[in-house]
Amino acid sequence: MEATPGTDMSDLSIASRAVIRPISEIARLAGIPDMAVESYGRYKAKVDPSLLTARKDRPGKVILVSGMSPTPAGEGKSTMVVGLGDALTAAGSKTMIALREPSVGPSFGMKGGATGGGYSQVLPMDEINLHFTGDFHAITSANNLLMALVDNHLQQGNSLGIDPQRITFKRVTDMNDRALRHVVIGLGSVTDGVPRETGFEITAASEVMAVFCLATGLADLRARLGRMTIGYSYAKAPVTVDDLGAAGAMALLLKDAIKPNLVQTIGGTPAFIHGGPFANIAHGCNSAIATNTARALADVVVTEAGFGTDLGAEKFMDIKARYAGCAPDTVVIVATVRALKMHGGVTKDELGKENVAAVRDGLPNLARHVSNIKKFGVQPVIGINQFTLDTKAELAVVTQWAQAHGVECAVADVWGQGGQGAGDLASAVLRTIEEPSNYAELYELQLPVEEKISTLVREMYGAAGVEYSAKAKRVLEQIHANGWDQLPVCIAKTQYSFSDDPTLLGDPGGFTLQVRELIPKTGAGFIVAITGTLTTMPGLPKVPAAMHMDVDGNGNAVGLS
Amino acid sequence: MEATPGTDMSDLSIASRAVIRPISEIARLAGIPDMAVESYGRYKAKVDPSLLTARKDRPGKVILVSGMSPTPAGEGKSTMVVGLGDALTAAGSKTMIALREPSVGPSFGMKGGATGGGYSQVLPMDEINLHFTGDFHAITSANNLLMALVDNHLQQGNSLGIDPQRITFKRVTDMNDRALRHVVIGLGSVTDGVPRETGFEITAASEVMAVFCLATGLADLRARLGRMTIGYSYAKAPVTVDDLGAAGAMALLLKDAIKPNLVQTIGGTPAFIHGGPFANIAHGCNSAIATNTARALADVVVTEAGFGTDLGAEKFMDIKARYAGCAPDTVVIVATVRALKMHGGVTKDELGKENVAAVRDGLPNLARHVSNIKKFGVQPVIGINQFTLDTKAELAVVTQWAQAHGVECAVADVWGQGGQGAGDLASAVLRTIEEPSNYAELYELQLPVEEKISTLVREMYGAAGVEYSAKAKRVLEQIHANGWDQLPVCIAKTQYSFSDDPTLLGDPGGFTLQVRELIPKTGAGFIVAITGTLTTMPGLPKVPAAMHMDVDGNGNAVGLS
C-alpha cells in the first residue's frame, strides 16, 4: 500500500466510497459467458477457463510492470498497474489487468495490502486483502496434507525408507510467525509421531504456491504436484509426492482455487487477482492461468512481477514465460523521484527537500533496470510514479535521461487521479507494443546450473562472481546426480540491492554473490538459490498492523491499509 | 458418512446425480430477502442475519437429533437429520435444518464427510466436504494470528510478563497431524523467537471454534474472543486476548465467516451448515447464529448435536441453549439394530446375522439415553435408522420396548428413500412438539465446578464418582482463585462409552471418571474437563482416505465419501 501524498484519505476510505458494479456486469464487459462465472459474494467471481473458447488464437499483448530497486520510500507498482490499466481502458483498448493475491500474513504485520492505492485500487479492497476466495487457504491445506502424510508415513512403518533427517519439504502457514522457523515435531509418546527437526514457511514462499502459479491447467497442476521432491531416502534417492501417492488428494484440494478470481478496478477495468508467490524468495508473479485467461479475453493485459527487474521481471521471463508462453511485449519500469534520491544517498527523513543532484546520483540504479530489460530483447518504458512533493527539476532529470538514452518515459499521477493520471504513460506503452519485440530468455536450459547462475548474476546484478557454501556445493552434486540440470534457476535475494547485501544501493557492481543454499523445486520446475540472510518465514514487528485492526458496529473493516 | 446397505452406489455418485436448484431459489423458498444473500458459487450462499427481520418474535421449534452411543457399525445421525427434515417439508411444515460443517482433517483420514448419505444428503456434497465457504480456514487464521502475536510479544520484550511455560493456548491446523501434538518452537537464533514447548490442536477442537459457535452476533463474538485466556503471567495472573489487544484483528478475520451458510438437501429443504466443533473434545453443535437464524425463518428446525446424549445433547442444553436460548422442543434419539447388537456384545463381523437376544441386551444403552433426555424435562422420540439386513423381529424388540416405556418410536429408511422413508418419524415428532416441554438445564451455574461435574457424570453417565489428577486439582484452585466458578462445564470424553473407557459398552454404571486435565475456556464460557486418553489432535490411519482421492479429467472430485 502506498504512502498518502498530501491528504488524510486512507486507501480503505477511498475504496469504500468508490462506485462498485456487480461482478456479473464486469464479467459481461470482459466477454466472459455467464456459465463460466461463479460468484463469490457480489463483487468477486471465479472464472472457469475451460469454458472460454473465444480468441485463443490471437492472445492479447502482455505489458509487464516491474520497477527499480525498492526503497522504504515506496514505489507504487500495483498502483501503477491499476492506473495504467484504467488509462488503457479509457484510451479504448480492451484491457484486463492481472495481479497477485495479497498474503494475509504480511497484511497483519507491516506491509499493508497489495491492491493498489488512492484512486488506483482493485475492489473490493477489504475482501481481497482478507480471505478473498480462499486460494491461499487451499494452498496451505494441500501443502499441510502432504506433510501430515509424510510424517504419517514415517509413523506407519516408513516403507519408502524416507530419512527423517533429509526431509526438505516444510509445513506452511499464511502468517508472519518467526517462532515457527525452526521447530522440533513428533515429541511426546510413541503414538505422537517420529521426532525430527523441521520448520514452517509462509504460504507465499511454498513450492505448492509456485506450482499453482506455473501450472497451465488442472492436469499440469496435478503432474507438477506429483513431481515435487519432499526429501531423500536413506539411500539418498529423491522421494516425490507421486511416490507417496498424495498428488490426487492435493489436486482435489486445489481444483476450485486454480480458477482465476475476477474483480474490478475503481475505473471499472476487469482484473484477475490470482496466486501470490513473493518475488524475493519465490518467482513473484500471479498465476500463469490468470495471465493466459486474460490474454484470451483482452487485447492488452497489464500484469506485475514483484520488486525490481533483477527479481520478479527476470523470473517472469526466464521461468514463467518459458513455461507458460506469455512473454511480455513491453516492460514498464516504475521509478519514483523519492526512490532515486534514496539510491542517490538521501535518507528517508530528507526526502521532502528538493535534491536534483541526488536524483541524478540515483540514476545508475534505474539504468541497470533499463538495460536488464533490453537484454531480453524487450523495449522498456519508464513510468514515473509522481508524488506530491516531486519538483519539476527533479522530474526533468529522469525524463531527460530517458530521452538521451532512447527510452520511452512518462510521468503518471495514478494515486491521485487514477487512470486519468496515466494517459501519457498509456500512449507511450501503446506506441512501444506496436513494434515487435525480439524476446529471448537470458540463458539456455541445457547450460549447467552453475553457468545459469553465473550468467544471471553477471548480466542482471552486475556481480563479479558467485561463491557457494559447502552445503550448496553438496546440493550441486545432488542436482547433477539426479539429472535436474535442465531446470531454470530462481534466485532468492534481497529486493533492496542488486547484490545480496540490502545496504548496497544504486548499482554496486563487482561484488561476489554468496549462495548459501540450493533447493531443487522439481515440481515447480526450478532450482532455488538462496543468497544472503533471506528467510522464507517473515516475523512480526514490535507493533504489528493487527493492533490497529477491528470491525465496526456494522461489520465493516477498520484499520486495513 | 454412512455404510452403503445393499448397493454399490456411493454417496458421491448419488449426490452428483441429484437435481440441485440454484441457491437463490432455495433462499426465496426459505423466505430470505435477496439483499441478505451472498452467493458463493451457484449452490452455496452466506446469509446476513442482520438483514432478516421477519418473525423474530415467534421463533420456530427446535428438534434436536442425538443418538445412542456410537459403534463402528455407524448410526447415521446426519443422515437422519436430512431425512427427517425432508419428511417434515413433505408433511407441509415450513422446515429448515442446521448442521455442523465437516472438518477437512478427518475427511482425509478415516471418517469421510459429514453431509448425510444415500438419498438423505445435503448438496453440493463435494464442495461442503472440501473448503466450503472457508469458515474453518478463517477460524484457523484468527487462532494462528493470535498465537503469532503471543510469541511476538515474548520476542519483543514481553511487557505483559507472560510466562512462556504457562501459555495454554495452542496453534491449530485443520488436518489430522499427530506429529504436531507436541512440538518445541522458537529454536534457531535470537531473532527466531523464544523457545518453548507447545502443540497444535485440530481447528474443530479450538476455543475460537467454540466462541464462533456460541456467539449470538459479531459484537458478542468480539467480546468472547477478547475474554479468552491465552496463559498466565509470571505472577500467575491470567492473560487474555484483550490484554494483548488482538480481539479486533481476530474479529476482522471472522466477520464474513460468522454469517451462516445456506445450502439444500436432496429433497430441497433449505439447510444452514455452519461451525463445526467436535462433540467429544468440544461442545459439538453448529453455530448458535445458524440455529437462531433458522428459527427466525422456519416453523421447525431440525438440528444435530454430535455423538450420544451424554456428549452433544447434554452440551447443547447445558451450554448452547443456556447461552443462545434455543432449547429443544424434542430430542430424536437415533438408534440402529446394529449398534444395539454391538452394545449387546456382538462383534462387527457378526452383525449380518439375526440376533434378537443381542438387540435386547443392547437396550440398556438406549434406555440411559432416553432417561438422559427426560432429565432435561424434554420428551424424546426414538428414531430407528433402518439398515437392509435388520429383521422384523429385531426391529420389534426396540419398538415394543419404546411402547412399554411410553416413548414415541418410529422406523425410518432415510438412506434408501430420503424423506419418504421418514414419514412415520415426522408424524411422531410433530405429535411430540405439540405438547409444551418442561425444559430446564441439568445444573445451576452457581454450583461449584466440582459439583457441576459430579452432578453431570452421575445423572448422565451413571458414574459413581470423579477422581481428579494432581494437575487438575491445581487448576481447580486456579478456577476458584480467578472467579471462574460460574461457568458451565464441557466434558471431553470418549463417544463410545458412558464411561471414560471406550471398551465399556452398554450402560456400565458405577465407574469412577478420571479427570486428567481442566482447561478454563473463558471466552467460549465453559470449563473443559478432559477424561481418559482423549487427544485434541487426531492422527491419520495406516492408509489414509486421501490415498483414494483425486480429480478426474473434467475437474470433478473422485473418492470423497
Q: Mean pLDDT over all residues of chain A?
A: 93
Instruction: Determine the average pLDDT of the residues in B262-266.
Output: 97
Please determine, for residue A317, whether its predicted confidence score (pLDDT) is greater than 60. yes
At residue A169, does pLDDT exceed 70?
A: yes
Non-local (6+) Cβ contacts of A57 within 8 A are: none
* Chain B residues touching A549 at Cβ < 8 A: 248-249, 252
Under a CB-based contact definition with an 8 Å cutoff, are residues A86 and A269 in contact? yes
| Residues shown for chain B | 561
Among all chains, which residue has been given the C-alpha cell 468508490?
A18
Contact at 8 Å (CB) between B80 and B349? Answer: no
Above 0.90 for ipTM, yes or no?
yes
A139 — pLDDT class (breaks 50, 70, 90): very high
* Nearest chain A Cα distance for residue B108, angstroms: 8
φ, ψ at B11 (rounded to 5°): -60, -40
Please judge whether A141 and B104 are an interchain contact, meaning their C-beta atoms are less than 8 angstroms apart.
yes
Chain B positions touching A181 (Cβ under 8 A) are 187-188, 192-193
For residue B183, list its beta bridge partners.
B198
> B35 to chain A: which residues are within 8 Å by CB?
none
**Would you call B439 exposed, middle or buried from its count of C-beta atoms within 10 A (0-12, 13-18, 19+)?**
middle
Q: Side chain identity at A21, as an amino acid letter?
A: R
**Sheet containing B465-468, strands listed edge to edge, beginning at the edge strand earlier in sequence:** B465-468, B512-521, B526-531, B489-492
Mark residue A430 as left, alpha or beta (left: phi above 0; alpha: psi -120 to 50; beta: remaining): alpha
The pTM of the full predicted model, rounded to 2 decimals, is 0.95
Q: How many residue contacts between A and B have a Cβ separation below 8 Å? A: 230
Cβ–Cβ below 8 Å for A248 and B550: yes
**Cβ of B448: how many Cβ atoms within 10 Å?**
13
Matching residue, cell 447464529: B289
CA dihedral B210→B215→B217→B221, nearest 10 degrees, is -70
Query: Distance (Å, rounded) from C-alpha B35 to C-alpha B29?
Result: 15
Residue B7 has pLDDT above 70, yes or no: no
Is the separation of the CB atoms in B526 and B492 below 8 Å? no
| Higher local confidence (pLDDT), B260 or A10 | B260
Per-residue CA distances from B478 to B161, B206, B237, B474 (Å): 18, 21, 9, 6
- B179 in helix, strand or coil? helix
Strands B200-202 and B261-265: what pairing?
unpaired
pLDDT of residue A28: 96
Task: Give B359 to chain A, closest Cα distance, Å.
Answer: 35
- Is A257 a residue whose pLDDT tops 60? yes
A98-117 tens-digit pLDDT: 999 998 888 888 755 678 88
Residue A130 to residue B253, Cβ atoms within 8 A = yes
Answer positive or negative: Cα dihedral of A419, A423, A424, A429: positive
The H or E element spanning position B330 is strand B330-335
Instruction: Test B141 with A174 for CB contact under 8 angstroms.
Output: yes
Rounded Cα–Cα distance for residues A71 and A387 (Å) = 14
Q: Across residues B375-401, what is the average pLDDT?
A: 97
Q: What is the pLDDT of residue B13?
A: 81
Q: What is the DSSP string of A184-221?
A: EES-SSTTS---EEE-EEEGGGSHHHHHHHH-SSHHHH
Alpha-helix residue ranges (DSSP H) falling in B215-355? 218-227, 241-244, 247-254, 288-297, 314-315, 322-324, 337-343
Return the C-alpha cell found at B320: 448452547
Task: Give the position of cell 499427530.
Answer: B178
**B130–A547 CB contact, under 8 Å:** no
Q: What is the dihedral of CA A441, A444, A445, A451, to 10 degrees?
A: -110
Min mean pLDDT across A95-109, A496-510, B481-495 is at: A95-109
A134 contacts in chain B (CB < 8 Å): 131, 134, 137
Q: Which helix H or strand E contains A338, and what residues bound it?
A: helix A337-343
| SS3 sequence of B132-143 | CCCHHHHHHHHH
Do A46 and B41 lie within an 8 Å CB cutoff? yes
What is the per-residue pLDDT for A438?
A: 92
User: Does A454 count as an annotated binding residue?
Assistant: no
Catalytic residue among B200, B387, B498, B526: B387
B111 catalytically annotated: yes
Contacts of residue B549 in chain A, CB cutoff 8 Å? 248-249, 252
Convert the pLDDT of each residue in A226-252 to its tens digit: 999 999 999 999 999 999 999 999 999
Q: Band of the pLDDT at A1, cuts 50, 70, 90?
A: very low
Partners of B408 in the β-ladder: B381
Catalytic residues of A, by residue number, are 77, 79, 100, 111, 279, 307, 387, 415
Please report which confidence band the pLDDT of residue B55 belongs to, taking 50, 70 and 90 as the band edges: low
DSSP A305: B
| Alpha-helix runs per DSSP H in B457-520 | 470-481
Asked if the model's pLDDT at residue A3 lies above 70, the reply is no
Residues of B in contact with A249 (CB under 8 A): 108, 546-547, 549-550
Determine the pLDDT at residue A11.
81
Answer whether B145 sits within 8 Å of A38, measured CB to CB: no
Q: Taking CB atoms and an 8 Å limit, are B184 and A184 in contact across chains?
A: yes
Task: Among B150, B151, B159, B192, pick the best mutation site for testing chain A contact (most A Cβ within 10 A).
Answer: B192
Q: Identify the helix (H) or strand (E) that includes residue A251.
A: helix A247-254
Contact between A550 and B252 using a beta-carbon 8 Å cutoff? yes
Say if residue B74 carries a ligand binding annotation.
yes
Query: B387 catalytic, yes or no?
Result: yes
| pLDDT for residue B411 is more than 60 | yes
Q: With an 8 Å Cβ cutoff, are A249 and B550 in contact?
A: yes
Q: Is B4 marked as a binding-site residue?
A: no
Average pLDDT over residues A55-74: 87
Closest CA of chain B from A328, distance in Å: 30
Q: In this model, does residue B135 exceed pLDDT 50?
A: yes
The whole-angstrom separation of Cα B18 and Cα B15 is 5
Q: What is the mean pLDDT of residues B481-489?
A: 95
- Rounded alpha-carbon distances, angstroms, from residue B375 to B208, B463, B465, B469, B509: 30, 16, 19, 29, 17
In chain A, whose CA is at the least distance from the CA of B221? Answer: A551
| Minimal Cβ distance to A188: which of B38, B175, B182 | B182
> Residue B1: pLDDT above 80?
no
Give me the residue from B104, B257, B544 closest to A152, CB to CB: B544
SS3 call for A261: strand
- Distances in Å between the Cα of B271 and the Cα atoms of B27, B266, B298 are 10, 11, 11
Nearest to B179 among A145, A186, A540 (CB): A186
Element (H, E) at A138: helix A135-155
Strand spans (E) along A84-188: 95-99, 116-117, 120-123, 162-167, 171-173, 183-185
- Helix or strand holding residue B399 (H, E): helix B392-404
User: Cell 465407574, residue?
Assistant: B511
Predicted confidence at residue B5, as pLDDT, reads 44
pLDDT, average across residues B242-250: 97
Q: Which residue of A has its CA nearest to B189?
A: A182
Mutation choice for B interface testing from A155, A185, A225 by most B CBs within 10 A: A185
> Does an H or E element contain A491, and which?
strand A489-492
Q: Mark out the alpha helices in A413-521 (DSSP H runs).
A: 414-417, 423-434, 449-456, 470-481
Indicate if B100 belongs to the active site. yes
SS3 B254: helix
Q: Is there a binding annotation on residue A287? A: no
For residues B74 and B336, is the Cβ–Cβ distance under 8 A? Answer: yes
Closest approach of chain B CAs to the CA of A194, in angstroms?
A: 7
**Chain A residues lying within 8 Å of B262, measured CB to CB:** none
How confident is the prediction for chain B on average, in pLDDT?
93
CB A213 within 8 A of CB A286: yes
Q: B130 contacts in A (CB within 8 Å)?
A: 252-253, 256
B436: Cβ–Cβ under 8 A, 6 or more apart, which residues?
none
Neighboring chain A residues of B174 at a CB cutoff of 8 Å: 141
The answer to whether B107 is a known ligand-binding residue is no
Reported residue count of chain A is: 561
Band of residue A176 on the pLDDT scale cut at 50, 70, 90: very high
Cα–Cα distance measured from residue B260 to residue A23, given in angstroms and rounded to the nearest whole number = 22
Of A68-72, A286-290, B137-141, B286-290, the least confident: A68-72
DSSP B537: S
Q: How far apart are CA A261 and CA A128, in angstroms?
A: 10
Q: Does B72 carry a binding-site annotation?
A: yes
- How does pLDDT run across A287-306, given as a tens digit for each residue? 999 999 999 999 999 999 99
Per CB-CB distance under 8 Å, the chain A contacts of B49 are none
Cα→Cα distances A386→A76, A83, A367, A393, Å = 10, 12, 19, 13
Nearest CA in chain A to B535: A192
Distance of alpha carbon B498 from alpha carbon B508, whole angstroms: 7
- Cβ contacts of B369 within 8 Å, gap of 6 or more: B66, B67, B68, B69, B308, B309, B310, B333, B380
Q: Can you count the helices (H) and strands (E) in chain B?
A: 20, 25
Whether residue B111 has pLDDT greater than 50? yes
DSSP-derived pairing of the beta strands A512-521 and A465-468:
parallel
Q: Which of B111, B166, B375, B516 is catalytic?
A: B111
> Chain B residue closest to A137 (CA)?
B137
Question: What whole-number percentage of chain B has pLDDT above 90?
Answer: 85
> How far is the alpha carbon of A385 from chain B, nearest alpha carbon, in Å?
32
Out of B36, B45, B210, B279, pick the active-site residue.
B279
Residue of A nearest to B220 (CA): A553
**Vertex B441, ends B436 and B447: CA angle to 5°?**
155
pLDDT at residue B226, rounded to an integer: 98
A 10 A CB-CB count for A20 gives 18
Can you give the pLDDT at residue B54? 56
Residue A172's identity, in one-letter code, is V
The tens digit of pLDDT for each residue in A331-362 reads 999 999 999 999 999 999 999 999 999 999 99
Question: Which residues have C-beta within 8 Å of that of residue B48, sequence separation ≥ 6?
Answer: B36, B38, B259
Q: Count H helices and E strands in chain A, helices first.
A: 20, 25
Which of B415, B498, B511, B526 is catalytic? The answer is B415
Interface test with B, best of A50, A178, A198, A536 (most B CBs within 10 A): A178
Q: Do B147 and A177 touch (CB under 8 A)?
A: yes
Report residue B320 CA to chain centroid gap. Answer: 11
Three-class secondary structure of residue B82 per DSSP:
helix
Round to whole Å and give the CA distance between B374 and B435: 14
- Is B79 among the residues known to form the active site? yes
- Closest residue of chain B to A34, computed from CA coordinates: B42
- A178:B540 CB<8 A: no
